[in-house]
Amino acid sequence: MPQLRIAMAQINSTVGDLDGNAALTVEWTRKAAEAGAHVVVFPEMSVTGYPVEDLAQRRTFALAARQAVDDLARRLDDAGCGEVLTYVGYLDRDEAGPRNAAAALYRGEVVARQYKHHLPNYGVFDERRNFKAGWTLDVVRLHGLDIGMVICEDIWQDGGPVSALGEAGVDLVVAPNASPFERAKDDIRLPLIARRAAEAGAPLVYTNLVGGQDDLVFDGDSMVAGANGELLARAPQFVEHLLVLDLDLPEREHRPEGEYVGLEVRRRVLGAEPLPRYQPRAAPPVREPLSDEAEVWSALVVGLRDYVHKNGFRSVTFGFSGGIDSALVAALAVDALGPDSVYGVSMPSKYSSPHSRADAAELAQRLGCHYRVEPVEDMIKVYVDQLKLTGLAEENIQARTRGMLLMALSNAEGHLVLATGNKTELAVGYSTIYGDAVGGFAPIKDVFKTHVWELARWRNAEAEKRGETPPIPENSISKPPSAELRPDQLDTDSLPDYALLDDVLDDYVEGDRGYADLAAAGFAPDVIDQVVRMTDKAEYKRRQYPPGTKITFKAFGRDRRLPMTNAWREGR
């Protein structure tokens, strides 16, 4: 049995940083070489970062990316890594247009280039807009072993490129991926990879991107499935990692070049001599996926950290209201950036309760972050008295004054302002545009209110397990939520109970269910009317809200694109 040592380099690329991503590739290929790997597989679009969106349409960027890959092959050889067959993803361009591509690099050359066949056009993906599909499969023969490649969505297609490689008799399939995280995605991903490996009749090596890019976050979770579908190795989630595995590959009948399952298979022979035998290394552990709350927390932390750092910020600021949303964002920010990079601001008005002021101060003390108090009562009074504001106008000017104060501190001190609103509020428009909606990033934008409480309790419980002080004051979790914009105000004055509200929103927003479906699910007609009306009317607010990390199947933004001017209403 020929023995092959394969490495998966689960790295965190940055979109557009060709030099930085190439340097990262050299660094991790060197680690693979030091581990004795014959092959190393990087994620989809690893040299350009992913997704590149309409950067794909810029000819200058596509040509620079292709040149970066050519240069990278030489850099790897100069670094002593030329004998490692290295698969990288990048943006290419030919006479047909931009391509989502991957290349095999060996001994200073690009020995194979392949284009993605299936271009996803659903959810967050818009690849048919940006790329042209491929039609060939490039197989590399390394020391007598045939290695085929598929790119991300290609493994999601029944009877597609994987079947063609299986028909061609390859010994191994490598799959560079950039598969964004969402809750429970592994329930789909792992069985899929196992099925495709069995379909190919060969081990399948799945290397996934890790890190945050705008509103997306990638969880890594790279893995290898054997020809029988058995999970052989798995990398940790949400961290850069090199997973190295020895594979004993039984000899197979390699069929000639030609068309299989409607795709043209081409072969490049790199070396005819067999691989030398070597001392096998212990198999890496098959890591268990994180629990639901742990992986969501990790996703939110990584998404926030990478957005801040990749955009050149060193610190964040936002309002410490004493409520649960700002408390959860504060705990996330400290976990992501460290306490010295978090600047909390308490902005009490005449309606702010003593317990909210105390809870905000206690939160800062528990987290060890920066904290200041900037009363806004006098600022608000100027607006109220001069414009004679009452009712909703008076309430909203409080939120807008706070937003203006935070943006002023951002300009003066260089912090990125975080918006602390959750998905439930965003859905029904329960926020003040240019007020509490102000900011450059919204960490819990895709977290329903009931999930906010669950995450807060989970994070406190984790701290207690480690013998640490729970970061979030218990009073912030247990007290009835209130915007405190008028005396004795509660959220339930304007909204259904959050548990009920989130149930309706889950069906209406995530499930795209209409009125009849919602009624059949048992929701009261008046509740359906209220929630649907509020959600539909708030589209213009959502369009102006900051980006935030996607964790659900359908997040506001890329996943759900509805017109702001829209006269359609769900009705009885």
Active site residue 53: no
**CA–CA gap between residue 369 and residue 371 (Å, rounded):** 6
**CA–CA gap between residue 223 and residue 201 (Å, rounded):** 17
E strand intervals along 48-120: 85-94, 97-106, 109-115
Active site residue 369: no
Choose among 6, 171, 17: nearest CA to 87.
6
Q: Walk across the sheet containing 145-149 and list its strands.
A: 231-234, 223-225, 204-208, 172-177, 145-149, 136-142, 263-271, 258-260
Active site residue 81: no
Q: What angle do CA 41, 43, 44 make, to 5 degrees?
A: 125
Active-site choice (81, 132, 152, 199)? 152
Q: Is the dihedral of CA 469, 471, 473, 474 positive or negative?
A: negative
Tokens of 164: 């063609």
Q: What angle do CA 300, 217, 343 make, to 5 degrees?
A: 40
Active-site choice (81, 116, 369, 445)? 116
Is residue 336 classed exposed, middle or buried when 0-12, 13-18 and 19+ CB atoms within 10 A define those classes? buried
Rg (C-alpha) for the chain, rounded Å, is 26
- The residue behind tokens 């602390």 is 420
Residue type at 382 in one-letter notation: V
Q: Walk across the sheet containing 241-248 and list its strands.
A: 109-115, 97-106, 85-94, 39-41, 3-10, 241-248
Q: Are 40 and 70 within 8 A, CB to CB?
A: no
H helix or E strand, kind and range, residue 267: strand 263-271
Q: Are 98 and 62 within 8 A, CB to CB?
A: yes
The catalytic residue positions are 44, 116, 152
